[in-house]
Amino acid sequence: MVSLPSPRKPRTSVNQPTPGYRVFQGVNGVILTLVVVVTLYPFVNIVARSFSGERQIRAGEVTLWPKGFNLTTYEIVFNDGMFWRNYGNTVFYTVVSTAVAMALTTCYAYVLSKKHLKGRGFLVGVAVFTMFFTGGLIPNYVLITSLGLKNTVWALALPNAISVFNLLVMKAFFESLPDELEEAAQIDGLSTYGILRRIVLPLSKAVVATMVLFYSVSFWNSWFSAFLYMDRTDLMPVTVYLRNLIAGATQGGNAGATTEQLSQTAANIQAVTIVLTSLPILCVYPFVQRYFVSGVMLGAVKG
Amino acid sequence: MNNAGLSRRQILAAAGFIGLATLTACGSGDESSDGKDLSKKQDGAMKQYRAGDRFKATKPLSFEVLHNNNPVYPLKDDWLFWKELTERTGVTLEPIAVPLSDYEKKRSLLIGAGDAPFLIPKTYPGAETPFVSSGSILPVSEYLDLMPNFQAKVKQWRLQPELDSLRQSDGKFYLLPGLHEKVKSGYSLALRTDVLDKHGLKAPGTWDEVYEVLKALREEYPDRYPFSDRWSTNTTFPAGALFGYLGQAFGVRAGWSYLNISWDPAQEKFVFTGASDGFRQMVEYVRKLVADQLMDPESFTQTDDDAVKKLLAEKSFVISANPQELVQNYRYNLQKQVEGSRIEMIPVPLGPAGPVVLGGSRLENGMMISSKALESDSFVALMQFVDWLWYSDEGQLFTKWGVEGVTYTSSGPGAYRPKEGVSLLGSDPDAPKDMQKDFGFYNGVFSYGGSWELVSSSFGPDEKKFQAAMAQREQLPVDPPHPLGSVEQEQASLWDTPLKDHVTQNLLQFVLGKRPMSEWDDYVAELKAKNMQQLVDLHNKAYERYEKENA
Amino acid sequence: MSTPTTSAPPPGTQDPPPAKTPPHRTRSPARTGWRRALRRDWQLYSLAVLPLLFFLVFRYLPMIGNVIAFRRFEPGGSILGEHWVGLRYVEMFLTDPTFWQVFRNTLWLGGLTLVFCFPIPIVLALLLNEVRRRALKRFVQSVSYLPHFLSIVIVAGITLQMLATDGPVNHMLGWFGHEPVRFIQEPDWFRTIYVGSEIWQTAGWGTILYLAALTTIDEDLYEAARIDGASRWRQTWHVTLPGIRPTMITLLILNIGTFMAVGFEKILLLYNPLTYPTADVISTYLYRTGVESNSFSYAAAIGLFEAVIGLILITSANQMSRRTVGTSLW
């Protein structure tokens, strides 16, 4: 690459696409359309099913649009006080767990991103080792019980506070920030905490947003920890509630009960579950996406 | 950081954790020298408690019970069941709710971590074995004298051989199973009787007739497989239901009841099921169905939904069923899809083994009791209570039907019906109350087993007919006890799985015609290479040892 | 302060080779090194205290339980096992021929997943990056994440439906006069099916990190390249790819380290006895033997074995990456 001072020219002048690029754009369009079709169809089908009657579902008639419109399953779920209670729990657990996780992960990732730091290799090793070596179910259970964390949100938030995968990804991002900025800030008399808060984090909005998304989605969808460490139905997150509902609907044979309602539930509880659990996250997503705009970082620095 | 305050406590607690771990490491295995001195454990117990007496604690007691929380009737604190139970017995049960979806996992974890409540119901025979050697589960066989109703039922219904099959290598058993007076059969074939009638066909009574009927159907509908089956995905055995009742007709345990090892009464020793003649005949039978295009080759790998879809779309006319699925799924949905359709479940067709049902099926899931209960002052009362609620006629009637005049009415023994305004299993869709959801009766945690009179009191007409026919069959003898020690158990389970895998894999290859029957001997040789003989010997040795020690 | 303009290489490529530490920081003898480091960086170290405590309490402490790989454990007994049995459980699986078969299958499935599922999100992210219309780009992005939210039961169900004898795939084969194939019963097809469904489910979600990484690339670099007359293709090659390289390398190393962790639940739902020869992996085999509930010791021994392999893999991948491209995890 040549190094010339960059006189800012109006972009349009150099932005003339070549014919080859036009062809590429066309091909790209086709590929992405295919991606959309392939990923959107099953989801639309599931949404349609969740609103369809059982006869039509069982006959395999439902494709993109609900057939035999039916809200029974939604009604059953919505009319159950426990559902709302557990939904509230999920929101609460997700917010707390994500906050704790972001705090710990950001701090540690920032520390690990400092190449000059003595003992850095050891600190990374401490984390990487735990990706592979873990404790078994029973030791973990005994630990949580003897710490007195059972039946509290901490039983979910603390043991999962750092995902090593997220940690290392975040570390890689911090490393790619130009050192000069921090050095300048240091000269200006900012402490390490100040640099992290005022310089590094504002520059890393995209990765912070990504990590919030990753953590919250995984906490939102998780059920196993709650299932292990919560003893009362009213403490469960909605994932456990719905998982149990599905189990009841699909192996309901031995429970014996069926009215028309149950039969309908059995037909589309899976679909309803997916709509109910993924919808909130899908609604949150656009807010996260805002931060994925090119050039955020340097705009902020130069300003 | 918001959790900074917790950190010191964490350190302390963590230190405590290590201490605790070492403590439990030393503490286990110290059984009280003589568990049989119960004179100090009489709190709340009745001095005189005999079969037929109502148990009433002499002072208020409460016990924790693991509760399998069924979403069809989610646990509620205000169920009449809890209130009435306390009133009648003076015992308050404190349920620990565990979602039905993953009940076994949590049970195993709680016992493993030493955190289990006294009462651990919904345990299937065999599931207690892993917990035996650590001493965490009470050897209930040692305390049956506290359980007169249980003993009476075993004697009256001649269940001793079944019970003996639960014995572990120390000669004791650790599970209080659900007891049935008669075998309750589960699965059989369901056929579209309207289609049969249309073509002048009769419902088959033997497996040869099944073949003929399917062949006739294929001739009428040459573009369809008349038989497409289910219960093949995410299960322990492909087409688990079909091979179960088909195997029975050939005198072998196959399908869901498949065990590598089975008793051969002729030779008086254990043999390998998957290499036996009966098993081979069964394989050849199904192979013929598939080869003649009478049975859908996808039967062994498709999801239940797909199998049912084929039935509803009239792409198939025969499918495996149980009474609930028949009524609630097939018939209910068929009537919506196909005008004038009828579908019936037939008694299990007969095969070379004659009119038999497999032995051992009179035991149902039941209860483990934590060893810690023995240290409790109210241990005797606990056992009496369990005996009354789960094994007395009165207790069983109560858990199933509830309170007379409130939840049910009776017109004589065995003739019960839900009271006006109460629905049981959808019997009255307009009723304001539901027996299970609103009152907590007919709950799988408390209500199972019992006299035929009681069990059959809730059958629908289809099930009544089916069970009546099946009740005529002769029960094959139960396998004699052959308990393995815990180290043997470990070894056996590592041989068991590869062998069973090889059996199911080749079963399907033979059945689907991917492997010629002429290679049957090669298949048996392959089993031998996978330690078949060692496994059989292990069990025969255990059998002989048990015989010698308990003669 | 030097403005990061044209001449500066894109961020992330400027990592110094790890052997050389920045010149103005070292030079102190090793003995006084720690004291100096602490004095200079105590604020940084203080940030590491809580995370380290987390690792100690919630990760390392429960690991003590792994001792049951060498001690006999009885469910309900001591959580640290009853007595020493040495390498009994290690020998047990090392001498089990079935274990080696499922081990091979695990490697195959893990390897194929790595080879296909790692690069596809990168390609997809780059393609998305070329979309000029913002609304369209956002739409495609959001839609491509959807499969991530489907439960595995549903994904498996969709897969089985697609491949059924009367499913869409066989319909298409029918147009070419091909006999229907019962894919789900053919061991040869299993790997393709598994990897295909894995790509479908993870590709879109996998782009998120790369899209986030793309935002850190300086627009000016593109502009400079344009002025030099670089085509889009060359811009991608010389600016975009180097810009996301640290993310790529990090993810690649992590994926290599964890590639034995194949999707247990999905395999369980997709396989059947006929496809055991290719489909059965360590976790499904253990599931069928019931050892998770019966023989915790045996499962722990295998767990340690897998962990050692994972650790070796990630360390070698890290070394290799450090030597070849100069970027590494540590």
Among C64, C75, C184, beta carbon nearest to B112: C75
| Coil, strand or helix at C267 | helix
B5 CB within 8 Å of a chain A CB: no
The string of pLDDT tens digits covering residues C111-168 is: 999 999 999 999 999 999 888 888 888 888 888 888 888 888 888 888 888 888 888 8
d(CA B369, CA B141): 11
Direct distance between the N- and C-terminal alpha carbons of chain C, in angstroms, rounded to an integer: 28
Q: Tell me which chain A residues have a C-beta less than 8 angstroms from the C-beta of B21.
A: 139, 142
A51-65, B13-27, B258-272: range with highest mean pLDDT: B258-272
Q: Tell me which chain B residues have a C-beta less than 8 angstroms from the C-beta of C273.
A: 238, 501, 504-505, 507-508
d(CA A267, CA A252): 12
Q: Which amino acid is at B300?
A: F
For residue B258, the model assigns a pLDDT of 92
The string of pLDDT tens digits covering residues B376-422 is: 999 999 999 999 999 999 999 999 999 999 999 998 888 899 999 99
For residue C123, the model assigns a pLDDT of 93
**DSSP code of B450?**
B
Q: Tell me which chain B residues have a C-beta less than 8 angstroms from the C-beta of A61.
A: none
Q: Which has more pLDDT, A16 or C317?
A: C317
Which two three-digit tokens encode residue B16?
């405590």
- For C202-234, b/e burial (b = at least 16 CB within 10 A) is bbbbbbbbbbbbbbbbbebbbbbbbbeebebee
Cα dist from C143 to A92, A120, C129, C130, C225, whole Å: 27, 40, 15, 17, 32
Contacts of C104 (CB under 8 A, 6+ apart): none
Instruction: State the nearest Cα–Cα gap between A282 and chain C, in angstroms.
Output: 8
pLDDT at residue A199 above 90?
no
Q: Is B99 in contact with A236 (Cβ distance < 8 A)? A: yes
Handedness of CA B38, B40, B45, B50 (dihedral sign): positive
Q: Is A15 exposed, middle or buried (0-12, 13-18, 19+ CB in 10 A)?
A: exposed
The string of pLDDT tens digits covering residues A117-151 is: 999 999 999 999 999 998 888 899 999 999 999 99
d(CA B171, CA C254): 52
> Tokens 């959807």 label which residue?
C146
Among C182, C277, C280, beta carbon nearest to B298: C182
d(CA C183, CA B520): 25
Number of independent structural domains in chain C? 1
Among C58, C149, C307, beta carbon nearest to A159: C58
B3 CB within 8 Å of a chain A CB: yes
C1 CB within 8 Å of a chain A CB: yes
Q: Is B134 in contact with C75 (Cβ distance < 8 A)? A: yes
For residue A17, the model assigns a pLDDT of 66
Q: Please say whether the beta carbons of C37 and A117 come within 8 A.
A: yes
Q: Is B490 in contact with C75 (Cβ distance < 8 A)? A: no
A179-188, B99-108, B446-455: range with highest mean pLDDT: B446-455
Q: Is A25 in contact with C37 (Cβ distance < 8 A)? A: no
Q: Is C127 in contact with A32 (Cβ distance < 8 A)? A: yes
Q: Is C142 in contact with A111 (Cβ distance < 8 A)? A: no
Q: Is B102 in contact with A227 (Cβ distance < 8 A)? A: yes
Handedness of CA C145, C150, C156, C162 (dihedral sign): negative
The string of pLDDT tens digits covering residues C10-50 is: 444 344 444 444 445 444 455 668 888 888 889 999 999 99
- Sheet of strand B176-179, all strands in order from the earlier edge strand to the far edge: B91-99, B61-69, B119-123, B363-369, B176-179
Query: Could you give the ipTM of this predicted complex?
Result: 0.85
Domain boundaries, chain A: 18-70, 72-302
The residue length of chain A stands at: 303
d(CA B321, CA B327): 9
Share of chain B above pLDDT 90, in %: 60
Cα dist from A121 to B221, C64, C181, C197, C318, whole Å: 72, 23, 53, 37, 12
In-domain check, residue C213: yes
- For B248-281, b/e burial (b = at least 16 CB within 10 A) is bbbbbbbbbbbbbbbbeeeeebbbbbbbbebbbb
For residue C292, the model assigns a pLDDT of 56
Q: Tell me which chain C residues have a C-beta less than 8 angstroms from the C-beta of A24.
A: 130, 232
For residue C15, the model assigns a pLDDT of 43
Q: Shortest CA distance to A268 belongs to which of A37, A56, A41?
A: A56
Instruction: State the nearest Cα–Cα gap between C177 and chain B, in angstroms.
Output: 18
Q: Is A120 in contact with C47 (Cβ distance < 8 A)? A: no
Just give the CATH number of B38-183+362-450: 3.40.190.10
- Which range among B122-126, C31-35, C40-44, C256-260 shows the weakest confidence by mean pLDDT? C31-35
Q: Is A254 in contact with B444 (Cβ distance < 8 A)? A: yes
**DSSP code of A16?**
P
Q: Tell me which chain B residues have a C-beta less than 8 angstroms from the C-beta of C165.
A: 298
Determine the structural domain holding residue C291 and report its residue range: 92-324
The residue length of chain B stands at: 551
In-domain check, residue C314: yes
- How far, in whole angstroms, is CA B404 from its chain's centroid? 29
Residues 256-275 of C with CB under 8 A from A: 257-258
The string of pLDDT tens digits covering residues C159-194 is: 888 888 888 889 889 999 888 899 999 999 999 999
For residue B518, the model assigns a pLDDT of 96
In-domain check, residue C31: no
Q: Which has more pLDDT, C310 or B34?
A: C310
Q: Is B332 in contact with A103 (Cβ distance < 8 A)? A: no
C248 CB within 8 Å of a chain A CB: no
- For C20-45, b/e burial (b = at least 16 CB within 10 A) is eeeeeeeeeeeeeeeeebeeebeebb
**How, if at all, do strands C83-84 and C71-72 pair?**
antiparallel
Q: Is B333 in contact with A240 (Cβ distance < 8 A)? A: no
For residue C32, the model assigns a pLDDT of 67
Q: Which has more pLDDT, B5 or B253?
A: B253
For residue B269, the model assigns a pLDDT of 93
Q: Which residue of C has its CA nearest to B8?
A: C53
Q: Shortest CA distance to B400 belongs to which of B81, B55, B74?
A: B81
**DSSP code of B146?**
G
Instruction: State the nearest Cα–Cα gap between B518 and chain A, in angstroms.
Output: 40
d(CA B395, CA B413): 15
| Coil, strand or helix at B418 | strand
Residues facing residue B404 across a β-bridge: B408
Cα dist from A241 to A80, A159, A281, B72, C266, whole Å: 11, 22, 18, 12, 22
Q: Treating both helix axes as pointing N-terminal to C-terminal, what angle do C119-129 and C241-257 enclose, rounded to 10 degrees?
A: 160
Query: Max alpha carbon distance in chain C (Å)?
Result: 79
Q: Is B493 in contact with C291 (Cβ distance < 8 A)? A: yes
In-domain check, residue C198: yes
Q: Is B426 in contact with A104 (Cβ distance < 8 A)? A: no
d(CA B133, CA B536): 23
Residues facing residue B364 across a β-bridge: B178
Domain boundaries, chain B: 38-183+362-450, 188-358+479-549
Counting one residue from A and one from B, how many pairs have CB atoms under 8 Å apart?
132
Contacts of A119 (CB under 8 A, 6+ apart): C37
The string of pLDDT tens digits covering residues A32-49 is: 999 999 888 888 888 998
Residues facing residue B370 across a β-bridge: B137
Q: State the CATH architecture for B188-358+479-549.
A: 3-Layer(aba) Sandwich (3.40)
Q: Which has more pLDDT, B337 or B400?
A: B400
B33 CB within 8 Å of a chain A CB: no
Q: Which has more pLDDT, C328 or B84?
A: B84
Q: State the CATH architecture for A72-302.
A: Orthogonal Bundle (1.10)
| Coil, strand or helix at B77 | coil
Q: Please say whether the beta carbons of B247 and B259 come within 8 A.
A: no
CATH code of the domain containing C165 = 1.10.3720.10
Q: Which residue of A has its CA nearest to B430?
A: A259
